Amino acid sequence: MNHLPSAITLCEVGLRDGLQNEKTLLPTATKVELLQGLIDAGFKVIEVGSFMHPKAVPQMADTDEVYQAVGEVPGVELRALIPNLRGVKRAVDCGCKKVKLNVSASRQHNLKNLNMTPEQSVAGFADCVKAAEENGIAISGSISMPFASPWEGRIPLADVESIIEAYLKVGITEISLSDASGMGVPNQVYQMCAHVRERYPQVSWWLHFHNTRGLAMANIMAAMEAGMTQFDGSFGGLGGCPFVPGAAGNISTEDVLNLCDESGIVTGIDIVKVMALSRRMRELLGHDLDSCVLRAGRAKDLILD
């Protein structure tokens, strides 16, 4: 095994990527309570919600109110997903200081939904970048399904590079590779991560894995071995992907924390507090969550004196 990092940064995405797939609409006060719990557990990066149209994603309709309730938290990045320039304006109005744009690496998916190539979509983000910079808001980009999609299968590396270069052209240098379809495999993840880290050293990389086929943890390990140190997780394994058939949720945050704790990788996050939040979420939603550690407990909880 190659060297694993001594520390990683975990972004909690359950409040956005998790809840947007749930039928239960949580009250704003409950979201604020959960967000404050995540901050207390030690997360330094949290995806609070999204500024999508409320009709399209009703679960995220109150993201503005959540930001207004919590305000700025020193040392914690509270970010939100945006679709367009209107999203930047909403971020300005509610005090959000970090926004993220997204494009699909699947040409067919992008053409079918937006009538544009992924590169054309990213070029169109230039006005968002300008508006964000003018208002002191940081901005990042995400590439959804860079490993494979249900429409094309494996995505050629050249296609992914083309999208990365389109992001760099509009001034975005923080990029997430998001395996929303859950089709990535470890050797492919390793190769892509090692390649883009070397080719684009100016980029701050994030990795986002779905556990659709049980490979998210192996993919995280492969990405770590390739030198990546920033990952998304969703407490309780909440979430899915509304446009991918049968897509399961994100990797469970507490499963990643257990791996790190047992492997001596520092995260700065209290797994016991995260597990308590996942149990609370299970009660709120009224169904089981897809988290191994929530079912079995931490490995160290089994060791008898």
Under a CB-based contact definition with an 8 Å cutoff, are residues 180 and 144 in contact? Answer: yes
Q: Residue 270: exposed, middle, or buried by beta-carbon count in 10 A (0-12, 13-18, 19+)?
A: middle
Q: Which of 128, 241, 260, 292 is catalytic?
A: 241
Q: Rounded distance, CA 142 to CA 146, Å? A: 10
Cβ neighbours, 10 Å, residue 274:
31
Q: Residue 45: exposed, middle, or buried by beta-carbon count in 10 A (0-12, 13-18, 19+)?
A: middle
Q: Rounded distance, CA 183 to CA 190, Å? A: 14
Assign residue 11 a region (left: φ > 0; alpha: ψ between -120 and 50; beta: otherwise). beta
CB proximity list for 301: less than 8 A, separation 6 or greater? none
Under a CB-based contact definition with an 8 Å cutoff, are residues 44 and 8 in contact? Answer: no
Q: Assign 143 to helix, strand or coil.
A: strand
Q: Is 193 a catalytic residue?
A: no
Two tokens, residue 227: 């030198």
Two tokens, residue 253: 């945050």
Active-site residue set: 241
